[in-house]
Amino acid sequence: MQRDSSSATVSGTDQDDPATDGRVTGRRMASTGSGLRIQGDDNLQSMLVGTVMRKIKSRSWKKQRYFKLQEDCTTIWYKSKKAGNTHSTFSVSDVEAIREGHQSEVLLSIADEFPADRCFTLVFRGRRGNLDLVAESVEEAQSWIRGMKKLIENLENMGEREKLDQWIGDLFKKADKNKDGRMNFKEVRDLLKMMNVDMNEHHAHRLFTMADKSQSGTLEDDEFVLFYKMLTQREDLLKVFQDYSADGQKLSQSDLEDFLKEEQLEEDDFQQKAKQLIEHYEPSDTAKLLNAMTFDGFLMYLGSSEGSIFNPRRRGVFQDMSQPLCHYFISSSHNTYLMEDQLRGQSSVEGYIRALNRGCRCVEVDCWDGANGEPIVYHGHTFTSKILFKDVVSAVGKYAFKVSEYPVILSIENHCSIEQQRVMAQHLNHILGDKLLKTTLDGKVGLPSPEDLKGKILLKAKKIGGLEESFNGMVEDSLTGEASDEDEVAEIDKDNLHRDSIRCRFKKTKQHLSKELSDCVVYCKSVHFSSFKHSRIHSKFYEVTSFTESKARKHLRDAAAEFVHHNSRQLTRVYPSGFRTDSSNFNPQEMWNAGCQIVALNFQTAGEGMDMNDGLFSQNGHCGYVLKPVFMREAAKRFDPEMPQNQDGYQPVILTIQVISGQQLPKVNIKEDSIVDPLVRVEIHGVPIDQAKQETRYIENNGFNPVWYDTLRFTVHTPELAMVRFVVEDYDKTSKNDFVGQYTLPLSCMQQGYRHIHLLSKDGTTIPPSSLFVHIRITKLDKPSSLS
C-alpha cells in the first residue's frame, strides 16, 4: 500500500469548509470504507456471521476452528471451538492470494479425505506460512473464497483518503478499550504509546482539551479526527508549501509549475503536469475550479506514488528486451526448494511458487534417485525433507509466467542414474509440453533475447556434445559426462584445508548422461571453467559456467576486467558458499559489478542480500530481467569495476540526500513503554570505490514524527551500477541497534526533489503508513575526482 501516513488532513470526499473537513470517524469506520460495499453481498454477510472450518497442518493435524470476519471488514478473527482458548487474527491486507482446491502440499496430502471443492489455501505476503482450510460444505468454501477475493479487491482499489480513514478507524478501535465509541484521556495516553509517541502529559492533555469541543471529557466522532489532525500536523511539508505559495493558503497552477520545475526537476510539460496533479489529488472542488491546490491536495500528491522516491516511469517494462540473454541481470534463486536452512530445513514446492511469484526467472532443482523409479528433489547428503521432481516441474509449469512473461531457466543439479534421468526427461516433456524449449530458434545465431523466448522454459544442465551435434542424430544412446559443476561436495574445494582429498573425491564422480535429458538442454549447457583465456578462444555462446561466491571473488580480485568481458558474451551463475548452512546470503552487488547475470540467492532468507535483489528487480515491470549498462554489454569497452575512472564516458555524480523527517515508524520493542529512538543510515552499494554509508543523528523517544534535517553527501563514480539503501534503526547505546524498516532502489530509478520513501519490513512487505520524507539532488561532477 503506497501511501503517506502524513496525509494528516483526513479530507472527506469533497469538503471545502475546513470546519467540516474529514467527517470520518473511528466509530463509523465499519459503515464507511468497506462497510458500504458489504450491503447486499451474501458472501461477506455470511463471513460476518462466521463459519466453522478445519485448519490443516498435515495429514495428522486437522483441527476445527471458528472463523469470522470482523466488523471493520479488514480483519479475520478465529479461535478453537473449545471454550477459554485464546483467539488469533490476521489482516486481509496480509493475504496475497487465494488458491482453490488441492493447491498446496498439505491439501494434496489429504486429497483422499476431503474433496477439492471444499478446500482452499490463503497465501500470505512475505515469508509467512500458508493457511490451509477445509469448509464443511462446497457452499461455505465458495462463500469464503469469493468473499476474500472481494475484500482483497476492495483494499486494492481504495483511494488514498479511504486508506487513511481505515488506518485511523483501526487506531480508534484499538484505543477504545471499553468499546463505548468514545475515548477518555487514559485511553488517549495508551493510544499515543501504541503509536510510538512519547509526549509529556501536559501537552497531550492540552491537545485533548482542544479537540474535546463538546467538553464531555471524552473524544468521539469528529473530535477524534481533529485530535489526530493536530497530532500529525506536518510542519516540514507546510514549510515547503508556504515557500511556493504566493498567498500562503494555496498553490496556484503557476506556483505548482514552479515547484515541479525548480524542486522536483520534472521532465514533462510542467503546465500539463500541474493540471493533472490538481485534477487527481485536490479534494476541494472549489480549489479545482480555481486551478489551484490546497495543502490537503499537496499532502495527497507527495504521499502518492508520483510523490515517492521511485520514478513511476521505471515501474513498467521500459528497457530494450531484444538483446542476447547474457546482456541482462536475471533474478535467480539458490536451492529454491528449501524453505529454511540447508541442513534440516523443509523442502517444498511452495519455494518455487513463491520465488516465481516474486519475479524470479532462474530456479534451482537438485535431483537425486528416489523410490519407485521417481526422481526426488532435496539438498543431498543432508536431513532436509524430499519432494518429487514431477511435482516441482508441475509447479514451475503452472506459475512460471503468472507475473512475468519472460523466460524461466531451470538450473538442474543432476545426481540421478541414467534410468531416472530418462524419467526426468519424460516429466519435463509431458508436463511442460510446448513451454519447454527443445530446439534452437529459427534463423537465430547466438543467444536469443528475453523477447524471443517469451513463455519458454529453458533447461540449464550438462549436455552431450554441443548444439551442432544435437540435432543430426550422431550421438549414441548415452555417453559419459562430468558430474555437475555445482556439486555441493566440490563446492568446498577451494575453501577447505583438505582440498586435495575433496578434489579427488569430485573427480571420481564421473557420471553417465541420458540422451533424452541432454536433448532438453539447448541454450544453457553447463560447462567446467578453465580460465578466461581458454573461454575466449574455445567457449561457445550457449555454454554457462557456475562459480561459488568465493571463486567468483577470486576472479574479481585477479582479473575483474576479464570477468566483465567474459560476461558480455556468456552467461555466468554465482551461488552461495556451502558453508552458509543457515541459508544466509552474500551481497549480490559485487557479482553484478562483474556483469554476472545469474546471481543466485536464498529467497527464503530476509536481509540485506534479498533487499538488494528486490531493489534491483523492482524496476522494468518486476519482470526478472534488467538490462546491464552499455559498458558491460560491449566486449570492446573493457570496463574494470576496480578502475571505473578509465571507462569511456565516465561521468561521476554527487548524490545529496537531506533526511527531513519520519512518519509513524513501527514499534520494534513489544514492551508497552518502549518508544523508538530512530536514526537513518543511507548505504551506497556499487563498484568498490562507491561503497559508502552515512547516518543521521538519532532522535530520542520519537518514532511517530521524528525530524532530522540532516544532509548526507556521496560521490558516485559509476551511477549506472549504484544501489541506494535507506535503513531505519532503533538506536541502542548498549547493544546492537534494532531494525525498523528499509527501502532499496537503483540510483537510476530515483526521483529528485521532495519525496516520500514508503518503508518495507525485514520481509520486504509494506508497513503502512511508515515513511521517510527526504530531499534528493543528483548533480554531475564536472571533472574526475578522488572524493569518496
Q: Kindly list the catalytic residues.
A: 334, 379
Of 777, 680, 755, nearest to 725 by C-alpha is: 680
What SS3 state is found at 755?
strand
User: Nearest CA to 576 among 247, 337, 266, 342?
Assistant: 342
Query: How many whole angstroms separate alpha carbon 487 and alpha carbon 358?
Result: 27
Specify whether the CB–CB gap between 197 and 675 falls below 8 A. Answer: yes
Question: CA 551, CA 416: separation in Å to the nearest integer?
Answer: 26
Residue 123 to residue 133: CA distance in whole angstroms: 11
- Residue 310's nearest CA partner among 760, 788, 761 is 760
What is d(CA 234, CA 7) in angstroms, rounded to the nearest whole number? 8
Cβ atoms of 52 and 118 within 8 Å: the answer is no
Measuring CA to CA, which residue among 174, 178, 231 is closest to residue 208?
A: 231
Q: How many residues does the chain have?
A: 788
Helices 253-262 and 235-244 pack at an angle, to 10 degrees, of 110
The one-letter amino acid at 517: L
SS3 call for 740 = strand
Cα angle 667, 668, 672 (rounded to 5 degrees) comes to: 60
What number of H helices and E strands is found in the chain? 25, 32
User: Could you tell me the three cell numbers for 312?
Assistant: 513511476
Q: Which residues pair with 68 in a beta bridge?
A: 77
d(CA 768, CA 166): 11
CA pair distance 303, 385, nearest whole angstrom: 46
What angle separates helix 201-211 from helix 222-231, to the nearest 10 degrees? 140
Q: Which residues contact 354 (CB under 8 A, 6 or more apart)?
A: 127, 603, 604
